[in-house]
Amino acid sequence: MSLTGLFLCTFLVVHLIGNLQLFYNDGGYSFNKYAVFMTSFPLIKIISYGNYFFILFHAFWGLYLEFQNRKARPVAYVVTKNSSSFSSRNMAVLGTILLVYIVVHMGDFWYKYHNETLPFVQYTENLLTGEVVTTEMPETYSQETKMVETYNQAESTKTVIVKDLYKVVSVSFQNILLVIFYVLAMFSVSFHLVHGFQSAFQSLGINHPKYNPLFKFLSVWLFAILIPIGYAAMPIYFYFFK
């Protein structure tokens, strides 16, 4: 549980950094190119399959352990409040909410990107000035094609035609119910990780007065505050500002 949990924590950091490109004011140019890289580069593809496996393993093994714990102690503890935190007592519930979130979320973006007919968009970048002109594509390209790059040396331009995942994200986050769902789910991320991140080190036997404050600091400031706020900011930004 601890190793897969720490792997998923690392994924959350990388996924957030990549998705921050949604905030660039470039019509999705950077984000769409990044999506092609993330879904075509062979090493990343292998890590992705590992990621799906670790999510399922972590969720179902966690539920199994919770079930075993309850079987071993059918009568609940009388006093819980003084000895344990809200997060540590509710890891299985919070994790289940996250699993539901991930299924909905992958249905929204990952499934559509891989299986549905997406629009294409063309970006023409002036290589001298860096200026980018965005044109929505009238033609429907073969969905097998993720990106076509061409150069025009005479005009010093680069043209990129790419599947428009940015548009899928931006249209999805016009739905207020989805925005609320995403924001609420980030509370589960926060409560699950404020306990989970530091607890993983305890489980691995890495329990040292010198390092424990660092694990605690990262649990609170990085995983329970910064990361959930970063993710929640995305649906909010698209709903209110796009």
> Is position 169 an interface residue for ligand HEM (rule: CB under 6 A)?
yes
Select 45 or 208, whichever has its Cβ closest to ligand HEM: 45
Select 49 or 210, whichever has its Cβ closest to ligand HEM: 49
Nearest residue (beta carbon) to ligand HEM: 48
> Is position 191 an interface residue for ligand HEM (rule: CB under 6 A)?
no
Long-range contacts of the stretch 200-204 (C-beta < 8 A, 24+): 200/1, 200/2, 200/3, 200/5, 200/6, 200/9, 201/2, 203/1, 203/2, 204/2, 204/3
> Is position 48 an interface residue for ligand HEM (rule: CB under 6 A)?
yes
Q: Using the rule CB under 6 A, give the single segment among 76-84, 133-141, 154-162, 227-235 that binds ligand HEM.
A: 227-235
> Is position 105 an interface residue for ligand HEM (rule: CB under 6 A)?
yes
> Is position 98 an interface residue for ligand HEM (rule: CB under 6 A)?
yes
Distance CA 107, CA 67 (A): 28
Task: Quote the DSSP letter at residue 74.
Answer: -
Give me the least distance between CB of 234 and ligand HEM, in Å please.
4
> Is position 109 an interface residue for ligand HEM (rule: CB under 6 A)?
yes
Give me the least distance between CB of 197 and ligand HEM, in Å please.
13
Task: Quote the DSSP letter at residue 138.
Answer: S
Give me the least distance between CB of 33 and ligand HEM, in Å please.
12
Rg (CA), the chain: 21
Its sign, for the CA torsion 56, 193, 235, 11, is negative
Select 19 or 212, whichever has its Cβ closest to ligand HEM: 19
> Is position 113 an interface residue for ligand HEM (rule: CB under 6 A)?
yes
Distance CA 39, CA 29 (A): 16
Distance CA 108, CA 228 (A): 19
Give me the least distance between CB of 147 and ligand HEM, in Å please.
14
> Is position 106 an interface residue for ligand HEM (rule: CB under 6 A)?
yes
Distance CA 4, CA 8 (A): 6
Distance CA 95, CA 181 (A): 15
Interface with ligand HEM (CB under 6 A), residue from 7, 29, 223, 231: 231
H-only helix segments in 110-175: 111-115, 165-172
Helix (H, G, I), strand (E, B) or coil at 50: helix
What are the residues binding ligand HEM (CB under 6 A)?
12, 15, 19, 35, 38-39, 48, 51, 98, 102, 105-106, 109-110, 113, 165, 169, 182, 189, 231, 234-235
